[in-house]
Structure 1
Amino acid sequence: MTTVVKDKVAEYLEASLGKPVDLAPLPDDTPLNTLGMDSLLTISVLVTLLEDAGVDLGEHADSLVTPSTLGDLYAIAERFLGAPEEPEEQTVAAADPGGSREQSAQLAHYQAKLAYETDSADLRDALESGQDLVVVDGRSSEAYAAEHIAGAISIPHRSISQESLAGLSKASLYVAYCDGIGCNASTKTAIKLATAGFRVKELIGGLDWWKRDGYPTEGHAAGQGHAHQVHHAACGCAG
């Protein structure tokens, strides 16, 4: 493990805990919770590290398993802040001549999309039918104030903590959204909510597609301009 990687990990931990952290004397198997890191703080550090490294969170979803020790966190930092990964060997198509393995993978993929994603029409129908769900705007408070889905609550993804989630029922289904396909605040919000034990879906197309479908919004900029135009206050995904 390089000194650079250890120093970067220390920086992330210090920023999260709000105090200096001396990792030098600590072995790699030191549990993160002994440093004062709960699961939400840990996932926040992980997401920030991956974001700073320019990592596509969807492409590297396997990296989002919450680390439990310093060694786990070092390994993730080394993976993305260290040397580039070697390309994986291509699977030989002939190994599955019947195509059944590929078909199973496709089926699992599309089932997962429906299990973890929803669209504007389905969300609107669920709200109108009185289903127990909560719509969560993971963008900045400024972007939320400008315009948001009617009835949505504001929980900027960077502010998510045990305190900000206190009082929310885990019996409800939470639907996270952001500006649209050019913003990943909904994905980060969904990750943190799921890590905290909530059931979550992500709204595909976000606020942009919700408005394109003609569904109601609230906020001081609601209704301005074309129906498909999304208001951008600074960077809504910045949280």
Structure 2
Amino acid sequence: MSHVTDVPAASPEIARDHFLRRLSVETDCSDVAASLRGGEPDFVLLHVVGSPQAYERRHVPGARHLPHRDISAERMGEWPAGTLFVVYCAGPHCNGADRAAFKLAGLGLPVKIMIGGITGWQDEDLPFASGKEPGVLRP
């Protein structure tokens, strides 16, 4: 036996349920990029960490800057009910996206985390936007 098989694999049913739960709360940089390039995304992308200056230097095209500490029922009322929010932070070493997702879910809003954050976006060699405006990811 190896360390891999010391603990038996879950049944296919348990594995399927597990991965469905993960996919219901996570998305990745590649899928976000494909949706953004496709035109009107069916979600709002939020850059949830850092100062306005850091956002202006570099952010995912299409992302709005809304630090997790500023998330409130009043602020989120800017979007229609049922809007899906996709949040990201600096990367795997940052828990800002988790904090934002926790707050959004607590407000009864649908939310997913873009795993990898800025680090993942860069690893995928995807382009960044700069400036105060969200920008657009070109096809």
TM > 0.5: yes
CA contact (8 A) 1:170 1:197 kept: no
1:156 aligns with one of 61, 67, 70: 67
Deviation at 1:147, TM superposition (A): 1.3
Other-structure match for 2:23: 114
Q: Distance in 2 between matches of 1:186 and 1:115?
A: 15
The correspondence for 1:125, drawn from 6, 27, 34, is 34
The alignment yields a C-alpha RMSD, in angstroms, of 2.1
Taking CA–CA contacts closer than 8 Å with sequence separation of 6 or more, which of the two structures ends up with the larger relative contact order?
2
Residues in 1 aligned to 2:83 and 2:23: alpha-carbon distance in whole angstroms: 17
In structure 1, C-alpha distance between the alignment counterparts of 2:115 and 2:44, rounded to whole Å: 16
**Higher percent of residues as helix:** 1
Larger Rg computed on CA atoms: 1
Q: TM-score, normalization: structure 1?
A: 0.47
> Aligned letter for 2:51?
S
Letter of the 1:119 counterpart: D
Query: Which of these residues, 127, 133, 139, is aligned with residue 216 of structure 1?
Result: 127
2:48 pairs with 95, 117, 138, which one? Answer: 138
Kindly state the Cα deviation for residue 197 of structure 1 after the two structures are TM-superposed. Answer: 1.9
Shift of 1:179: 0.4
Taking the aligned partners of 1:154 and 1:131, their CA distance within structure 2 comes to: 17
Q: How far apart, in 1, do the equivalents of 2:68 and 2:60 lie?
A: 16
Determine whether 1:167 maps to 2:78. Answer: yes
Quote the offset at 1:140 in angstroms. Answer: 2.3
Segments of 5+ residues of structure 2 without an aligned counterpart are 1-6, 132-139
Matched residue of 2:92: which SS? coil
CA–CA distance in structure 2, aligned partners of residues 171 and 128 of structure 1:
22
List per-residue Cα deviations over 1:181-237 (Å, max 9, x = no partner).
0001001111111121221110110011112212221226xxxxxxxxxxxxxxxxx
Match of 2:99 in 1: 188
Distance 1:197-1:210 versus aligned 2 partners, 3 A rule: same
| Structure 1: distance between partners of 2:34 and 2:82 | 19
SS in 2 for 1:149: coil
TM-score w.r.t. the length of structure 2 is: 0.77
Q: How many residues align?
A: 122
CA separation in 1, counterparts of 2:25 and 2:49? 19
